[in-house]
């Protein structure tokens, strides 16, 4: 298999609707680390699956769950996939470690709008955390086959539609990179996929209590197996 690493520092801007208000969201020289794992037979423009997690944290929070746990999950998947003797993936897998989710999804936009690999993405799995304990929950999806594949293949699938409806209709002040990836107005957007997060113990979310040692034992292992 082939493994390629791209350090990407995008600059750009986009219109963001937040709590029913349009704001101009501009960013400069953010950092994205993108790893592409592909079978040697894959062409450079072969359709790929994107796995996304952000490594920035909100102000004042150590970010143990949100989202060091997410980054750790993707790093472990990447490590296992690239062990000597591991079979190559059937299609290219892109690992996006993005440095600007808490600033209203800037780094995800930087990847979708400006990275050359973005045009190859055919589906996305967004890995998030709004609490330090599992189970990890599929709470947003694009409908149809992404949700069906998740429910069929994840060892311990858990899903809810109520969170999606609360975000959409109750104006909850929360959002994830998934909104950027599925935005049909963006270059290389409108992607099918799933949005997953660990949600229990939400009292520590975006606070100074979000330490790694607060994460319940087994949460990250189960989450990673589902991803």
Catalytic residue numbers, as ranges: 101
Angle in degrees, 0-180, between the axes of helices 70-81 and 219-226, rounded to the nearest 10: 60
Interstrand relation of 121-129 and 48-54 (parallel, antiparallel or unpaired): parallel
What is the distance between the alpha carbons of residues 6 and 118, in angstroms, rounded to a whole number?
A: 12
Task: Extract the tokens encoding 57.
Answer: 């944290």
For residue 82, the SS3 value is: coil
Q: How many Cβ atoms from other residues are within 10 Å of residue 49's Cβ?
A: 18
């Amino acid at each position: 298999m082939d493994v390629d690493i791209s350090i990407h520092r995008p600059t750009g801007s986009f219109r963001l609707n937040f709590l029913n208000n349009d704001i101009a969201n501009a960013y400069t020289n953010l950092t994205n680390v993108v790893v592409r794992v592909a079978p040697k037979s894959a062409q450079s423009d072969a359709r790929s699956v994107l796995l996304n997690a952000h490594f920035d944290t909100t102000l004042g929070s150590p970010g143990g769950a949100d989202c060091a746990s997410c980054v750790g999950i993707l790093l472990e998947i990447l490590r296992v996939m690239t062990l000597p003797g591991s079979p190559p993936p059937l299609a290219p897998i892109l690992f996006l470690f993005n440095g600007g989710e808490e600033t209203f999804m800037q780094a995800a936009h930087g990847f979708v709008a400006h990275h050359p690999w973005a045009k190859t993405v055919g589906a996305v799995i967004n890995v998030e955390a709004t609490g330090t304990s599992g189970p990890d929950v599929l709470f947003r999806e694009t409908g149809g086959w992404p949700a069906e594949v998740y429910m069929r293949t994840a060892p311990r699938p858990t899903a809810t539609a109520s969170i999606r409806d609360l975000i959409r209709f109750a104006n909850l002040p929360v959002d994830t990179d998934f909104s950027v990836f599925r935005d049909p107005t963006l270059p290389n957007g409108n992607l099918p996929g799933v949005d997953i997060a660990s949600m229990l113990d939400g009292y520590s979310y975006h606070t100074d209590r979000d330490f790694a040692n607060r994460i319940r034992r087994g949460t990250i292992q189960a989450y990673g197996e589902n991803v």
